[in-house]
Structure 1
Amino acid sequence: MSDYPYADPLVDLADVQELARDLVVIPNRNVDLVPNIGLIGGTRAVLVVDTGLGPRNAEQVLRFATSYANGRRLYLTTTHFHPEHASGAQVFAGEATYLLNTAQADDLATKGEGYLGMFRQLGEPVARELEGVRIPVPDQTYDGTYELDLGGRTVQLRPTGRAHSKGDQVITVPDAGVLFTGDLAETDQFAIFPWFPPYDVDVSGIRWIEVLNRLTAENHQTVVPGHGATGNPQLLAQVRDYLVELRDETWRRRDTGMPEETTAAEIRTLMIERHPDWRLPEWIDRGVSCLCAEQP
């Protein structure tokens, strides 16, 4: 098993951020494989968005959510099926109602075990957090927008269609102007392309751009990304513009017959020059490979 060169992927409750009335985020503090986790409250219920990596992290989140809810009913949803977002869902069984869009439920059922195996190979700290994980089965699935009434506040759970994954969904809190994006948007890092042919080729750069165009047009006041700092309403446009750059630079070279390996090397250098402060440049190459396989 390879060494894991990053901080242990543990949820930290030290700096919970209040974004609006009865709406908080447990920030990921820029720790890899830790997502931003949301709690959205109404008079009758609280919705938890994402679980963290594995049961131990999810137990922390559940304890915090139970205290935060203070007797209110708990719901859980996840932005997509990748392990740092959904692999703690089993901990919520019997404590919260797990709501999930149909496409994400299918991702969990068909690809969940494969992703757990892949993540366990990242290093011992990750494998440790994934001990005992079971693929969760949602209590309720839906197609199209699901409106969840928490009591005096309605939250919208909206599948986007194929983009970062087949089962992506965003969570919107209309009265607060807050949008949870999952890994459709991340702050100050290169977009994660889970392009692993032949095992998983569901990510689509073209569709991802279309989704971000729609979300950008909605003019949300606060954006909670899958990873990285929360708040910047311009983040959706910034990620969209990067994906457009990546697409255009890739296709321009591909259409001249340049080999994919050369294309990736040139674009990696170019993107790092354009975004010198961004993290995780290793995802640039997978983005190039994905876009090389896509057609306008």
Structure 2
Amino acid sequence: MKVFFYLSAALVLSGILLLGLRETSASSVSGKTSVSGSPRPELEYFKAINSVGPPQDPQILFLLMAQYSNANLQGEGVEFLSARLKEFEPRLTDTQKALYLSAIGLLRAQHAHSVPLLRRVGYVKETIAILEQAKQLSGGQVFVVNWIAGVVHAQLPGFFHQDKAAHDELTWCIEHADKAPQAGWLREAYYNLGKLVRTRGEQTKAQDYLRRSGYRDFNSPVTLIGDFSEDVASGHTFAARRIAEAVPGRVYVLTGFEFTEYYFVVSADGRELIGIDAGTRPDSAKAAYEALRAYAPGLPPLTTIFITHSHWDHIGGHAYFRSVNPLLRFYARSNYREEIALDLAAPDTFAKYFFGERFSLGDVRSFKPDVTIDRQTEVKIGGTRIELIPVQGGETRDGMFIHLPDLSVMFVGDFIMPYLGAPFAPEGDLQGLLDAIDVVVQRNPKHLLHGHEPLTRNFSSPAILTQLKQDLCWLRGQVLAAIRHGDARASIQQANLIPPDLLHGNPDVYLPYFVMREHVIDRLFDQNVGYWQTDLTGLDHLSRADRAELLADYLGVSENQLTTAVERLVADGKYELAASLLESSGPRFERSDSVAKVKRLVYLKLMEKNPNTDPFKFILYSAKSGEQTSQMSRGN
């Protein structure tokens, strides 16, 4: 999604100097014409929901913009968004118009390299004018509008004299970080400011900006604006580090200290502190708990922790909390051992990617609760009434909701994790998820707090879950019918299945349904199809080495041919297909610098494609690319 422009030619025609702009992204690598291919269900979905009307949540608009950008279909994106702006204009506020114009301006800037040379300078000047109009309509006070203008202006050649504007716009973004949609948007602001000051010879300041951006150098071919971060030692975090109070003075939310959220509740009598889940590792549990004590030094002692389910990332820090208070009491489901057995049997390679090198399965294996729950139970701790509700949720069979009716708070763990269980483990129960939704809706809590920040953000209310349940029931019917018909999994995924009532229902369900859809299809397919499939998948047992032999020895694919093919696929936005080709080449080209270079680009582009909507893919693509993305904060 980088805009990157440079002057590609200078022609004197009728006494006028004509300057060409060329995007140096993957879309210009091969010089070959893009070919049509498989459907893009993600893009088609966001086109559909953006066609209904002006999105209530601007994120929906910018996710569509990002899909067009990542797919190298910027020209089509400009046409689509321009048509929507014209169609919806009578209904738009000035700020909404500014958002449309900004998205159009960014896509136009990226598309400039495709404009005929003789028209290119005028095209870019028109784009600059569009971005200026957006700033005027927004009063210069909308973060995304200034961010887009700053990023585009920063990457224009000096011929257009936009350096000062870029510096001012990006500096404004840094100074108004509290207005950013997410802290991750600051990454590009720092990165582009660094490039600007580097051209002025201010190397020390440039390196400081680069450090703050989290990028490793000034040659990043992608734009990462989400809050996701990766670190080899500590693993993945979903959001920037922060402490908030869901119920002031009573319920504390600790985000970004590791893979999982931490929650703490002050009892009604103020004498006891109650924890929800124990985190992934003792060191991260210690960091979170000490941060809470520093934030609220008058808190009472920790006496109790309730476990929502016994996954790696919800029990791994238990030993630290035991050290804080040897008399601490843990509550968990009576079938917790079954879940731990599944945890221990899963491929341990994934655990390091997700939870970091510091993670140890021994911290999971050693967990043992003091109290086990096998039926709905009510307890009182420090005067606080707590309802413990066993569920078989979508993820694990040992789920337990912790409901505090007097505070209208319900802690629901990962019952609606989009993957319906860990993707690399034989778990997940869609019907259990649907039944658990009924439990939530019946209690109707004001505060619905999940095990991970994106879940709390996307599945935030019983009202959303009510419609989502209907949509998931419809999706299940479609998938099972397709399986009976003999459809391959890929064809089901590419069908862009949208429930008939979704587009005319609650817009707050658009994104929750999207993040669920792919993985519900995958889990249902996995659970309802044998190891031989109708397209003959599973009949053979060919390895990567076998496929590499086919490519290199029988088809005669050379290193140069492989990299050229991958570059063409990248230019056409077909990153999954490019990754498949690279993986099929196996160890044959593992020592090739050119193959390593295009491989890194492919997985970076796949990271860019999933910065907000699919964290698990982001984690694995990060591991494949060898890219670490440091955690951002609004005061970074």
Question: TM-score range with shorter-chain normalisation?
Answer: 0.7 to 0.9
Residues 393 and 435 in structure 2, CA contact (< 8 A), matched pair in contact too:
no
Larger radius of gyration: 2
Letter in 2 for 1:49: I
Deviation at 1:175, TM superposition (A): 0.1
1:154 partnered with 2:376: no
Please, which of 286, 289, 294 is the counterpart of residue 525 of structure 2? 289
Q: Paired residue for 2:448? A: 223
Alignment of 1:42-121 (within 5 A): 42=267, 43=269, 44-64=271-291, 70-94=299-323, 95=325, 96-108=328-340, 110-115=341-346, 117-121=348-352
Alignment of 1:107-146 (within 5 A): 107-108=339-340, 110-115=341-346, 117-122=348-353, 126-131=355-360, 133-134=362-363, 135=365, 136-146=367-377
Please, which of 174, 183, 190 is the counterpart of residue 414 of structure 2? 183
Q: How many residue pairs end up in the alignment? A: 276
Find the aligned partners of 1:276 and 1:220 in 2 and give their Cα distance.
21
Other structure's SS at 1:255 match = helix
Give the TM-score, by structure 2 length. Answer: 0.39
Deviation at 1:17, TM superposition (A): 2.6
Please, which of 1, 19, 26 is the counterpart of residue 254 of structure 2? 26
Deviation at 1:63, TM superposition (A): 2.8
Please, which of 476, 480, 488 is the counterpart of residue 247 of structure 1? 476
Other structure's SS at 2:353 match = coil
Find the aligned partners of 1:195 and 1:120 in 2 and give their Cα distance.
11
Residues 68-95 of structure 1: per-residue CA shift (max 9 Å, x gap): 5734342112211222222212222242
Letter in 2 for 1:7: S
Q: From the superposition, tell whether residues 165 and 100 of structure 1 become closer, same or farther in structure 2 (CA, over 3 Å).
A: same
Q: From the superposition, tell whether residues 54 and 242 of structure 1 become closer, same or farther in structure 2 (CA, over 3 Å).
A: farther
Please, which of 472, 478, 487 is the counterpart of residue 258 of structure 1? 487
Find the aligned partners of 1:145 and 1:77 in 2 and give their Cα distance.
14
Identity %: 15
Other structure's SS at 1:181 match = strand
1:166 partnered with 2:397: yes
Deviation at 1:157, TM superposition (A): 2.0
- Which runs of 5 or more residues in structure 2 are unaligned? 1-223, 231-235, 504-509, 531-636
Q: From the superposition, tell whether residues 142 and 255 of structure 1 become closer, same or farther in structure 2 (CA, over 3 Å).
A: same
Find the aligned partners of 2:405 and 2:347 in 1 and give their Cα distance.
34
Residues 51 and 88 in structure 1, CA contact (< 8 A), matched pair in contact too:
yes
Letter in 2 for 1:52: G
Letter in 1 for 2:310: F
Find the aligned partners of 2:249 and 2:528 in 1 and give their Cα distance.
45
Residues 116-147 of structure 1: per-residue CA shift (max 9 Å, x gap): 72533526xx3324147422111221211233
Moved more, 91-100 or 234-243: 234-243
Other structure's SS at 1:185 match = coil
Residues 274 and 305 in structure 2, CA contact (< 8 A), matched pair in contact too:
yes
Please, which of 220, 240, 260 is the counterpart of residue 35 of structure 1? 260
Q: From the superposition, tell whether residues 181 and 239 of structure 1 become closer, same or farther in structure 2 (CA, over 3 Å).
A: farther
1:7 partnered with 2:229: yes
Q: From the superposition, tell whether residues 61 and 235 of structure 1 become closer, same or farther in structure 2 (CA, over 3 Å).
A: farther
Could you say which structure has the higher strand fraction? 1
Find the aligned partners of 2:372 and 2:527 in 1 and give their Cα distance.
31
Residues 206-253 of structure 1: per-residue CA shift (max 9 Å, x gap): 222122123212222221123224553434325424432331221221
Please, which of 245, 251, 269 is the counterpart of residue 17 of structure 1? 245
Q: From the superposition, tell whether residues 115 and 76 of structure 1 become closer, same or farther in structure 2 (CA, over 3 Å).
A: farther
Residues 440 and 462 in structure 2, CA contact (< 8 A), matched pair in contact too:
no
Find the aligned partners of 1:51 and 1:105 in 2 and give their Cα distance.
16
Letter in 1 for 2:522: R
Find the aligned partners of 1:251 and 1:150 in 2 and give their Cα distance.
46
Q: From the superposition, tell whether residues 127 and 35 of structure 1 become closer, same or farther in structure 2 (CA, over 3 Å).
A: closer
Other structure's SS at 1:286 match = helix
- Which runs of 5 or more residues in structure 1 are unaligned? none
Give the TM-score, by structure 1 length. Answer: 0.77
Find the aligned partners of 1:162 and 1:279 in 2 and give their Cα distance.
17
| Runs of 4+ that moved beyond 6 A | none
Deviation at 1:276, TM superposition (A): 5.8
Residues 25 and 36 in structure 1, CA contact (< 8 A), matched pair in contact too:
yes
Q: From the superposition, tell whether residues 63 and 252 of structure 1 become closer, same or farther in structure 2 (CA, over 3 Å).
A: same
Find the aligned partners of 1:259 and 1:144 in 2 and give their Cα distance.
41
Q: Paired residue for 2:22? A: none
Deviation at 1:23, TM superposition (A): 1.4
Other structure's SS at 1:99 match = strand
Deviation at 1:183, TM superposition (A): 1.2
Residues 180 and 224 in structure 1, CA contact (< 8 A), matched pair in contact too:
yes
Q: From the superposition, tell whether residues 62 and 152 of structure 1 become closer, same or farther in structure 2 (CA, over 3 Å).
A: same
Q: From the superposition, tell whether residues 106 and 50 of structure 1 become closer, same or farther in structure 2 (CA, over 3 Å).
A: same
Residues 31-73 of structure 1: per-residue CA shift (max 9 Å, x gap): 9x73332112212322211233222211123335667573434
Q: From the superposition, tell whether residues 17 and 281 of structure 1 become closer, same or farther in structure 2 (CA, over 3 Å).
A: farther
Letter in 2 for 1:58: A
Letter in 2 for 1:57: S
Find the aligned partners of 1:116 and 1:78 in 2 and give their Cα distance.
23
Deviation at 1:179, TM superposition (A): 1.0
Letter in 1 for 2:242: A
Q: From the superposition, tell whether residues 283 and 161 of structure 1 become closer, same or farther in structure 2 (CA, over 3 Å).
A: closer
Other structure's SS at 1:220 match = coil
Residues 281 and 317 in structure 2, CA contact (< 8 A), matched pair in contact too:
yes
Deviation at 1:194, TM superposition (A): 2.5
Find the aligned partners of 1:209 and 1:132 in 2 and give their Cα distance.
31
